[in-house]
A and B are shown apart, each in its own frame.
Chain A
């Protein structure tokens, strides 16, 4: 297994106001697998993603990437871990507003020893004609493609996507999902995608359903659907 989570627990607050967000999550994901974390709001899926991403910490439990445990890593080591292994895509893109499309992608490239060629990626992402624009001159879909470009340019081992289509319309959402699927197939990155859109599960290798901080189901798709086949 490439990503292994053993009995991850996380809570916020204390005393009467204590909220258990994750209640002992166990999960294993193969290298190169496309895993979708499904669940309603408050189920703990984003928290789980952030813990895997090293930007939040678990109260207890073990997270292993390959043979390395990230639990107890210092801030510096966690930074290095994110730098070398992770790519992040958010619902709200989080692009740097005063950089152009190309430069936003280069923000990711800068971190990698062997980044993917930025110009080739701009073509692949359909952003070549927009490369010198700033984020506020782009549509939502174009911004999300830029964010994906920034995440994958360093060819990360794991691509973490937090509701990447949450702010997009149907057609654009499909376009983005297709892009993520292509990235997964082309570069073989492990993809962990959080969504509350049940329809998306069809394109995943593994579908994990969360509710109230616990895994309700964890199953492999026998037949993966293409993005075109997804409907919602």
Chain B
């Protein structure tokens, strides 16, 4: 005979549909989102990894001052690489003050992936990067004025050597709003004036290096050959090219975070299930006692009470996966496409995603519920029959002084009675607050960062000069010296207020986070731009660097030369207020001496006015507000749209956790509420006794959660910037955001409280009378 208790399951579901629906929804949304994310992430990683071979991504590229002739190319190819012309022109787009890096159509390396439309075939046509087009609302058929020439956008492409749109490899963040790549027909490209062309060449090894170390070794060897050839301006092997590697590093990085979020939700819901089940056991104590006395085993009862949580989880997981694989996968894919210029992808069905989002959460719910049930059902049938479910009978009530008002004591008793539920409420609020604080804090942080940049910048413009590589060639010292003298003469300026500085870049060691390039400024004594007084031997770090690396005066910091073993250790003597970048300030003479640059060496100018009397070819980078704000602009584009989703999800979690737990607390006390109604308590008085306790717990939880969440989020944000990004941004959470979080929490609670008030009103007085069995 089938277990007759089964018939109760559907009835229980019907009677308590709102609670089960709430739990089901939160499960469904979490599982759907995470499974969608995992599938999208996996598919994108596959597309990215596949793009190396499919689109023949270069092994590196270099830029020469002059175009190489055939003989020079052949000489270089003797070292076992094949070279391909990858010339480009950086041209302004008149319509939106951005820059497009235009290449001719590619046929050998870094092949374009056509996302929409077609490639350019005749002059006057251009195919541009898909993400830039989307960010700027440019569609196929639109006309852009590129370098003064009107060009029709005939297609949208993804270039595999620009999956992250880094304009310069040293940039702290890519920029898919103001920087773009595009391809035009060969005829159109040849029509560009020669002085606009940058002579860039991609190299490929016929046999790909098997390890990164081998890749580095081969690239280094190749570099040596170059010095012999001369005229090298830039040299970027693939492993050091952020435009190629950044995407790969970032993809998959969110995975761990998403899974942690999922499991946190699952654990909270599992405990809610556990408490629900415990409540049911208390409510049905006499029934359980009778069944146990009649011969039902503990195992049979555990299975019975485990069935509904298991079914709900299973249903949510199945539907969640279905939604994840269909709708939410596309949402997540579009998030990636919103950040990176990835090629087309094919959905890769992931068995691992199924295990992570379905089997593990299901098992987690079952194990937690099973443990709670096991503990609760260990009592003897007699205890159940007597409704005495406390394990330690001798335990006395917590003593509360009769001097306290009766109502206060009553509320305290409710709080003591429901401590377990309130702890879960607290965990739920912590979690929801974490999401809310991130969702509300990130846009404000970006704003704040932007404003800080505007008010705290060193100068309107920082010109970093480009020393020709040949001027640094140690193997041909005489040639190098002549070259350097010529360069030094060419880069003097008459611009009023322009102030020389020396600059040198070193990398962090990378053992505390992602390795990053740090700019060392050698500053003139009494500088008009860097507002710190420095004595010889001083080594000041920017506020951003101090915050990011948590260093202060007296601490030491070790840097390394890029791609070399040489390290430098400095003792920090102070912190400058500058927070625009991770940077170091030293007296210019010190910097020149430490890095053996010569006493008169300088590498750039601070200036509040544009410098126009230096040949553009000697200007490597101009650091202005726009370039400093790349990080905030890109984060806004990549994550800004997601914040609404995060906030919405947080509110749902808030609502479900508060709703289910306060509902349970009212239901648990329904008998007593019914009784006090009989005694003559009004609904308002009952709400003050039973609901206000939950209100107090909710409000205290909300208040207590804020500092904890604030500190935790700061740590998470810090770790995220340390390991995932270069540069620094202070996580700004103002009073306004804190108040908004509190207000949203309270409003959600009020909505729940209104529902609970209705529940209290509906508890019939005869519930207390029905107790007579």
In Å, the complex CA distance between A103 and B414 comes to 12
- B5 at the binding interface (Cβ < 8 Å): no
Q: Which of A107, A132, A136 contacts B393 (CB 8 A)?
A: A136
**A103/B680 contact (C-beta < 8 A), A50-B769, A90-B768, A91-B772 known:** no
**A56/B679 contact (C-beta < 8 A), A98-B414, A103-B406, A103-B410 known:** no
User: How near does chain A come to B4, taking the closest CB pair, in angstroms?
Assistant: 25
- Are A82 and B680 in contact, CB atoms less than 8 angstroms apart? yes
Most A-side CB within 10 Å, residue of B394, B413, B675, B676: B675
Q: Which of A50, A84, A90, A100 contacts B397 (CB 8 A)?
A: A100
B residues 383-409 in Cβ contact with A at 8 Å = 387-388, 390, 393-394, 396-397, 399-400, 402, 406-407, 409
- A134 at the binding interface (Cβ < 8 Å): yes
User: How near does chain B come to A119, taking the closest CB pair, in angstroms?
Assistant: 8
User: How near does chain A come to B386, taking the closest CB pair, in angstroms?
Assistant: 9
Contact string against B for A residues 82-104, beta-carbon threshold 8 Å, 1 for contact and 0 otherwise:
11101010111010111110110
- B66 at the binding interface (Cβ < 8 Å): no
- Are A109 and B679 in contact, CB atoms less than 8 angstroms apart? no
In Å, the complex CA distance between A109 and B409 comes to 14
User: How near does chain A come to B767, taking the closest CB pair, in angstroms?
Assistant: 10
Closest B residue to A106 using CB positions: B406
- Are B682 and A94 in contact, CB atoms less than 8 angstroms apart? no
Chain B residues near A136: list those with CB within 8 A: 387-388, 390, 393
In Å, the complex CA distance between A98 and B678 comes to 18
In Å, the complex CA distance between A150 and B400 comes to 19
- Are A111 and B679 in contact, CB atoms less than 8 angstroms apart? yes
Chain B residues near A94: list those with CB within 8 A: 671-672, 675, 768, 771
B residues 341-400 in Cβ contact with A at 8 Å = 387-388, 390, 393-394, 396-397, 399-400
Closest A residue to B414 using CB positions: A98
- B766 at the binding interface (Cβ < 8 Å): yes
Chain B residues near A137: list those with CB within 8 A: 393-394, 396
For A, the interface residue count at a CB cutoff of 8 angstroms equals 40
B residues 752-773 in Cβ contact with A at 8 Å = 765-766, 768-769, 771-773
Closest B residue to A94 using CB positions: B675
User: How near does chain A come to B670, taking the closest CB pair, in angstroms?
Assistant: 12
**A163/B772 contact (C-beta < 8 A), A55-B765, A111-B679 known:** yes
Contact string against B for A residues 155-186, beta-carbon threshold 8 Å, 1 for contact and 0 otherwise:
00000001100100000000000000000000
In Å, the complex CA distance between A110 and B400 comes to 17
- Are A150 and B406 in contact, CB atoms less than 8 angstroms apart? no
Chain A residues near B409: list those with CB within 8 A: 99, 103, 106
- Are B678 and A88 in contact, CB atoms less than 8 angstroms apart? yes
- Are A79 and B406 in contact, CB atoms less than 8 angstroms apart? no
Contact string against B for A residues 55-86, beta-carbon threshold 8 Å, 1 for contact and 0 otherwise:
11000000000000000000010011111101
In Å, the complex CA distance between A46 and B417 comes to 32
- B677 at the binding interface (Cβ < 8 Å): yes
How many residue pairs link A and B with beta carbons under 8 A? The number is 96
User: How near does chain B come to A100, taking the closest CB pair, in angstroms?
Assistant: 5
- Are B675 and A111 in contact, CB atoms less than 8 angstroms apart? no
- B570 at the binding interface (Cβ < 8 Å): no
Chain A residues near B400: list those with CB within 8 A: 100, 103
Q: Which of A82, A99, A133 contacts B679 (CB 8 A)?
A: A82
- A108 at the binding interface (Cβ < 8 Å): yes
In Å, the complex CA distance between A180 and B416 comes to 33
**A76/B682 contact (C-beta < 8 A), A94-B671, A99-B413, A133-B396 known:** yes
- A53 at the binding interface (Cβ < 8 Å): yes
- B681 at the binding interface (Cβ < 8 Å): yes
Chain B residues near A163: list those with CB within 8 A: 772
In Å, the complex CA distance between A97 and B681 comes to 17
- Are B414 and A79 in contact, CB atoms less than 8 angstroms apart? no
**A92/B676 contact (C-beta < 8 A), A55-B765, A109-B406, A136-B388 known:** no
- Are B399 and A84 in contact, CB atoms less than 8 angstroms apart? no
Q: Which of A76, A90, A97 contacts B772 (CB 8 A)?
A: A90
Contact string against A for B residues 165-208, beta-carbon threshold 8 Å, 1 for contact and 0 otherwise:
00000000000000000000000000000000000000000000
Chain A residues near B407: list those with CB within 8 A: 110
Closest A residue to B761 using CB positions: A75
Most B-side CB within 10 Å, residue of A46, A99, A111: A99
In Å, the complex CA distance between A111 and B410 comes to 14
Chain A residues near B675: list those with CB within 8 A: 94, 96
Contact string against A for B residues 409-422, beta-carbon threshold 8 Å, 1 for contact and 0 otherwise:
11001101100000
- Are B769 and A90 in contact, CB atoms less than 8 angstroms apart? yes
**A98/B416 contact (C-beta < 8 A), A103-B410, A110-B407 known:** yes
Closest B residue to A53 using CB positions: B678
In Å, the complex CA distance between A100 and B400 comes to 10
B residues 667-694 in Cβ contact with A at 8 Å = 669, 671-672, 675-682
In Å, the complex CA distance between A162 and B682 comes to 22
**A132/B410 contact (C-beta < 8 A), A55-B678, A92-B772 known:** no
In Å, the complex CA distance between A150 and B672 comes to 13
Chain A residues near B413: list those with CB within 8 A: 98-99, 103
Chain A residues near B768: list those with CB within 8 A: 90, 94
User: How near does chain B come to A95, taking the closest CB pair, in angstroms?
Assistant: 8
Chain B residues near A88: list those with CB within 8 A: 678-679
- Are B672 and A97 in contact, CB atoms less than 8 angstroms apart? yes
- Are B680 and A111 in contact, CB atoms less than 8 angstroms apart? yes
- Are A110 and B406 in contact, CB atoms less than 8 angstroms apart? yes
Most A-side CB within 10 Å, residue of B388, B406, B680, B765: B680
In Å, the complex CA distance between A97 and B414 comes to 10
Most A-side CB within 10 Å, residue of B399, B677, B768, B772: B772
Contact string against B for A residues 202-226, beta-carbon threshold 8 Å, 1 for contact and 0 otherwise:
0000000000000000000000000
Chain B residues near A99: list those with CB within 8 A: 397, 409-410, 413
Chain A residues near B397: list those with CB within 8 A: 98-100, 132-134
In Å, the complex CA distance between A137 and B397 comes to 10
Chain A residues near B681: list those with CB within 8 A: 79, 83, 111
Chain A residues near B678: list those with CB within 8 A: 53, 55, 82, 88
User: How near does chain B come to A49, taking the closest CB pair, in angstroms?
Assistant: 10
Chain A residues near B773: list those with CB within 8 A: 92
Contact string against B for A residues 33-44, beta-carbon threshold 8 Å, 1 for contact and 0 otherwise:
000000000000
In Å, the complex CA distance between A91 and B769 comes to 9
Closest B residue to A100 using CB positions: B397
- Are A108 and B679 in contact, CB atoms less than 8 angstroms apart? yes
User: How near does chain B come to A19, taking the closest CB pair, in angstroms?
Assistant: 16
In Å, the complex CA distance between A134 and B413 comes to 11
User: How near does chain A come to B33, taking the closest CB pair, in angstroms?
Assistant: 39
Chain B residues near A132: list those with CB within 8 A: 396-397, 399
User: How near does chain A come to B388, taking the closest CB pair, in angstroms?
Assistant: 5
In Å, the complex CA distance between A166 and B675 comes to 18
User: How near does chain A come to B600, taking the closest CB pair, in angstroms?
Assistant: 83
Chain B residues near A81: list those with CB within 8 A: 680
- Are B676 and A107 in contact, CB atoms less than 8 angstroms apart? yes
Closest A residue to B770 using CB positions: A92
In Å, the complex CA distance between A149 and B254 comes to 63
- Are A80 and B680 in contact, CB atoms less than 8 angstroms apart? yes
In Å, the complex CA distance between A96 and B674 comes to 10
In Å, the complex CA distance between A100 and B410 comes to 10
- Are B680 and A79 in contact, CB atoms less than 8 angstroms apart? yes
Chain A residues near B417: list those with CB within 8 A: 97-98
In Å, the complex CA distance between A89 and B668 comes to 22
In Å, the complex CA distance between A49 and B678 comes to 12
Contact string against B for A residues 133-156, beta-carbon threshold 8 Å, 1 for contact and 0 otherwise:
110110000000000001000000
User: How near does chain B come to A86, taking the closest CB pair, in angstroms?
Assistant: 7
Give 5 A-B contacts (CB < 8 Å), ordered by A residue. A46-B769, A81-B680, A88-B679, A98-B413, A99-B409
Q: A83-B679, A94-B771 are in contact. List 17 more A-B contacts (CB 8 A).
A: A55-B765, A79-B680, A79-B681, A83-B680, A83-B682, A88-B678, A96-B672, A96-B675, A97-B672, A98-B414, A99-B410, A102-B402, A103-B409, A106-B406, A107-B406, A132-B396, A133-B397
Give the top 5 A-B pairs by smallest Cβ distance, nearest first. Answer: A83-B680, A82-B680, A98-B417, A55-B765, A96-B672
